[in-house]
Amino acid sequence: MLDQLNSIEKESLAALESVREAVALEQWRVTHLGRSAPLSNILGDLGKLSKAERPAIGKRGNEVKRALEEALAAKAEALRRAEMENAITAGAVDVTLPGRSLPTGRLHPMTQTLRQLYAVWAAMGFQVYRSREVESDEYNFELLNIPKHHPARDMQDTFYTTTPDVILRTHTSPGQIRVMREFAPEPVRVVLPGMCYRYEQITPRADIQFWQMEGLAVGKHVTMANLKATLSDFARRMFGQQVRTRFRSDHFPFTEPSAEMDVECFLCGGAGCRVCKHSGWLEILGCGMVHPTVLKNGGYDPSVHSGFAFGMGPQRITMLMHKIEDIRYFLANDLRFLEQF
């Protein structure tokens, strides 16, 4: 049996020499040191040997087991070092290779449109004025000639807060009152961009939060002709010098008279397409002369001062310019959409 133990030690160590990876090493351990290994069977049968044979066989068996365990530990350490060395070598940086360009971020399509609008209005002498998104009922409605129970309130489903009369603004028009009260009785020319909120059904054409851009000009002898000339000039600067405009009568509580402005479809040149519903025209903003009551609420004397106001949807303009069919894309943060711009 001593010869058998010597043979087991020799064969096991020889098999260990050929092991080159951790999986094979674990298989070697199971084969030569596991419960069913020949060495384990011999040590398990010591009780069956005579008292004379048992000491020598037991001693030699333990020596073989210890030698195999030490060889296993040494092999495991060698494999670990080899694996680490290989990882270091394989992952080495070749400093002679050209660098890789890092992906750069892009401006959101709404940011692109807003910057274009800012540039156009700044060139026309209008200042960008920021107003708050959390408003009072007084500024959002009453000072804009929309008293309580006015039918116009039904058109703007409002987000109310737990604080009485504190709401999320439904349009950027409250900024008109704030800017007039800040600068009255001096003349003003401002645009007021910002986010608005309405509690309504989300559809491809409507969302509960959206961008608006209000415009306001107040001074002495400001007329409807000034309004039409300013907005027509804006359309030419924004959509091309050849674009035509038209004004249609409308009604807003805070302007009188009021109108909607259309531009000739810049996608089909007025010939008619699916985007303009084959009319050749695109509606882009509402406008009108500031109502005397609103002027008075803003701190101006309606008998001395007059003004015009307009409101447009930058998201709608962006959708028209890029043929975007769903307003929800703007806030979905889908890179497949955003990377197109």
Q: How is the chain split into domains, by residue range?
A: 2-90, 109-338
Cis link prior to 147 (omega < 30° from 0)? no
237-296 per-position pLDDT tens digit: 998 898 899 999 999 999 999 999 999 887 787 788 777 788 888 889 999 999 999 999
92-115 per-position pLDDT tens digit: 677 788 888 888 888 999 999 999
Long-range contacts of 97-103 (CB under 8 A, 24+ apart): none
**CATH class of the region 109-338:** alpha beta
What pLDDT, on a 0 to 100 scale, did the predictor assign at position 92? 67
Long-range contacts of 136-143 (CB under 8 A, 24+ apart): 136/165, 136/166, 136/167, 137/165, 137/166, 137/167, 138/165, 139/174, 139/177, 139/178, 140/167, 140/169, 140/170, 140/171, 140/173, 140/174, 143/174, 143/177, 143/294, 143/297, 143/298
What pLDDT, on a 0 to 100 scale, did the predictor assign at position 91? 67
10-residue averages of pLDDT along the chain (341 residues): 77 84 86 81 74 77 83 88 80 76 86 95 96 94 90 80 92 95 95 93 87 96 96 93 92 94 83 81 93 96 96 90 88 89 86
Q: What is the bridge-based pairing of β-strands 188-197 and 159-160?
A: unpaired
Nearest to 252 by CA among 201, 293, 304: 293
